[in-house]
Amino acid sequence: MWLPICSFYDVTVRHQLGLDWSDNIYWDVVTPHEVAHQWWGQMVGFDSYRDQWMSEGFADFSASLFLQSAYGSKGQKKFMEFWDHERKSIIERNRFGYRPIEVGPVTMGYRLDNSKVGGNIGVDLIYPKGAYILHMIRMMMWSNQGGDQNFKEMMHDFTKTYNGRAASTEDFKSIVEKHMTVDMQRMGDGKMDWFFDEYVYGTALPSYKMDSGFEKDASGDIVFSLKVTQSDVNDKFRMLIPVYLELADGRTAFLGRVRIAGNSSTDAKIPLKGIKEVPRRAMLNYYDDVLASPN
Ligand SMILES: [Zn+2]
């Protein structure tokens, strides 16, 4: 395993050497990222430079799982900060005026770097966007009943099938297609092309807005009303966007996914059976489930 010597320094030594950058999440991520290459890069290789996003991206994604599970009660906050940081790297303009996501798809790999757009687009894109692509699939597969079960089975199948071999982007897509949930099946008639065309082979970046409220119906049940708007996309773009509730006791609950195609809105009224107290608020895309412009 390769680790930079600086990853062994503690906070004091880093400070003495002037290494306490604003970008401090690097220190939390570097070790789990490099450890994760034993799966992404060593166990499962990548077929060509067009598939390298799966090595660097999946290693970055694995670091997010480490942050979420290894820091006890602080884990969730670190996890959220990590995805915030990844999104900034993908969509903020560099000093040449380019946003990495606009320069090209992750499948162009390091060919994205050139003298016009700057020499760092590859790193600023394939690591964080590669990670985001897998995170989006994880969140799409998550369920209240089974948690990460679907996603774990899919990733186990991927590592088992390609153990000791190189996998291509299409190989990975066909493994995802073997493990689609009902929601995912409906989105693409049993295929995942819609998602791969948008985020893997494409440069889509949607924006979202949600208006929501709670009221009580005649029988005293709480009814949740919502209107979700999707914009900044082409007519073919479609997505499943998760909605969460912050309950009266402070817990966050997953409610379901809204399906929207093109630049349009969807509204719904959902009776919240079994919820006695009015939730504090509703949140769209709370766990950065979908890579989108920040509101
Ligand atoms: Zn790496």
Give the count of alpha carbons within 13 A of 181, CB side only: 21
- Write down the H helix ranges in the chain: 11-16, 25-36, 53-70, 75-91, 100-103, 121-141, 149-161, 169-178, 182-188, 193-195
Q: What angle do CA 180, 151, 54 make, to 5 degrees?
A: 95
Residue 29 CA to ligand 1 center (angstroms) comes to 10
Q: Which residues contact 15 (CB under 8 A, 6 or more apart)?
A: none
List pLDDT tens digits, range 219-270. Answer: 889 999 999 999 999 999 999 999 999 999 999 999 999 999 999 999 999 9
pLDDT at position 21, please?
66
Residue 217 CA to ligand 1 center (angstroms) comes to 53
Token pair 């162009």 is found at 108
Residue 59 CA to ligand 1 center (angstroms) comes to 6
Query: Token pair for residue 195?
Result: 């998602």
List CB-based neighbours of ion ligand 1 within 5 Å. 56, 59
Alpha carbon distances (Å) from 143 to 79, 146, 204? 19, 5, 25
Residue 238 has φ and ψ, to the nearest 5°, of -135, 155
| In contact, 45 and 102? CB cutoff 8 Å | no
pLDDT at position 4, please?
82
**Gap between the Cα atoms of 228 and 240, Å rounded:** 11
**Gap between the Cα atoms of 259 and 242, Å rounded:** 9
Return the percentage of the chain with pLDDT > 70, whole number: 99
Threshold 0.85, pTM exceeds:
yes
Residue 52 CA to ligand 1 center (angstroms) comes to 10
List pLDDT tens digits, range 31-74. Answer: 999 999 999 999 999 999 999 999 999 999 999 999 999 999 99
pLDDT at position 104, please?
97
3-state secondary structure of 97: coil
Residue 33 CA to ligand 1 center (angstroms) comes to 6
